[in-house]
A = this chain, B = another copy of it.
């Protein structure tokens, strides 16, 4: 009998989140307001509750997880760490491949780790309703679930192409009592303006964010706030439970990863798994840490490190990040969760520092990896997760060539049961590869040239 699942007892769940901001060799560049000056916590108060804003700007290394949040997470946490023995055998690799299985949550992804925390902090702050945006629907369904369990109203603006292609996510949100509309919608000024200019737009996360923020800040009673599923520091913080659990589980079997891999759209599942290991790398461990993105939306691998808005309508503060420009609307690739124009500032700062080695994969290669996974391990991965699997397979094959017993750890961020139309399109030969042309990229980036420069300091240590 060969062990497949490394399980942690509920009593061994991590009781603190890890904040990479405390350990980054160079401090994060601050978000800037319209005047080009750093925004103060107060300026964010119409958008987020103050307890989350405190986490957003915190420099504290460890932050306690409230017991009430853990009591909700126990529905599926601690999540299993699994060994991909069947894929290892198929690849005939000396590498040992472990994956943290975040697909076991009710909505089927890592997203509820922060959705539950955010809903809980908002509820504590007296908020009655949350608004948000969603791409493929993983985030929207996670927030719908969390709001239902905690007792908040939930309104979701869903990127139109996913709303149309993936009606089942919308039904999930409704099952959990949320109100889900296609974005751009006629319900907000931002939505109406875009519908007028581009009535057939497939929508984008940037547009949907603008709509959700607008609806939160215009609540006359002031009891609505906005919730974001990725990018921000407090979101990444809540996700670190993934990596902290994985660390405990690997310790149980005396393993340490040589390579840590995750797909990155806004960066949250990648950061959640990897940041506790980035800390080890800062402390001298020899670990290769790889965020993976699609070639259709090459934020980390090709976009410059700049100050840019988080949304299309330029509502948010300017964030220092790798960005394709806030007007960028990616082509309708099926990995809907990996289509954001920017990337989490914490992830970007770690890239600037040389702590991470980003990589991009084509859609067809990802689906090929997904099919290999489904036909060996058995489980059907989300299209986003498949990007990580493509990198895992490459690393496992490299280990075979080098005859090295590498330990690979990756984040299985979600299952693909709600995304089978993508598999259908791939298997019937209807998908094609796409690489963002440089001239198109330059067009979007031109808008940013008058913004403040994001000049991050590099220590040159990695």
Interface residues of A (CB under 8 A from B): 1-5, 7, 9-11, 70-71, 74-76, 86, 104, 106, 108, 145, 148-149, 168, 171-172, 174-177, 371, 374-375, 377-380, 417-418, 420-421, 423-424, 427
Contacts and interface: CB of A to CB of B under 8 A. Distances in A.
A103 to B, nearest CB: 10
A374 B175 contact: yes
A9 B5 CA distance: 9
B418 A175 contact: no
Nearest to A425: B171
A122 B424 CA distance: 29
B176 A375 contact: yes
Contacts of A420: 168, 171-172, 175
Contacts of A378: 75-76, 106, 145, 149
Contacts of A104: 104
Q: Considering the complex of A and B, which 3 residue pairs feature the smallest CB-CB distances, nearest first? A: A171-B420, A106-B378, A4-B74
Contact of A375 (B5, B70, B148): B148
A427 B175 contact: yes
A175 B380 contact: yes
A215 B361 CA distance: 43
A74 B80 CA distance: 13
Contacts of A108: 417
Contacts of A427: 174-175
Nearest to A418: B417
Given A1-B74, A148-B375, A175-B423, 10 more contacts: A1-B10, A1-B70, A106-B378, A145-B378, A168-B168, A168-B420, A175-B427, A176-B375, A177-B375, A417-B417
Given A75-B4, A176-B374, A379 B106 contact: yes
A138 to B, nearest CB: 12
A1 B7 contact: no
A7 B7 contact: yes
Contacts of A168: 168, 417, 420
27 contacts: A1-B10, A1-B70, A1-B74, A4-B74, A4-B75, A7-B9, A75-B86, A75-B378, A75-B379, A76-B378, A86-B149, A104-B104, A106-B374, A106-B379, A106-B380, A108-B417, A168-B168, A168-B417, A168-B420, A171-B420, A171-B423, A174-B424, A175-B374, A175-B380, A175-B420, A417-B417, A417-B418
A262 to B, nearest CB: 22
Contacts of A177: 375
B377 A75 contact: yes
Which of A71, A177, A374, A378 has most B Cβ within 10 Å? A378
A171 B424 contact: yes
B10 A5 contact: yes
Contact of A171 (B5, B86, B375, B421): B421
Contacts of A1: 10-11, 70-71, 74
A259 to B, nearest CB: 23
Contacts of A421: 171
A168 B2 CA distance: 33
A112 to B, nearest CB: 8
Nearest to A8: B7
A332 to B, nearest CB: 18
Nearest to A78: B5
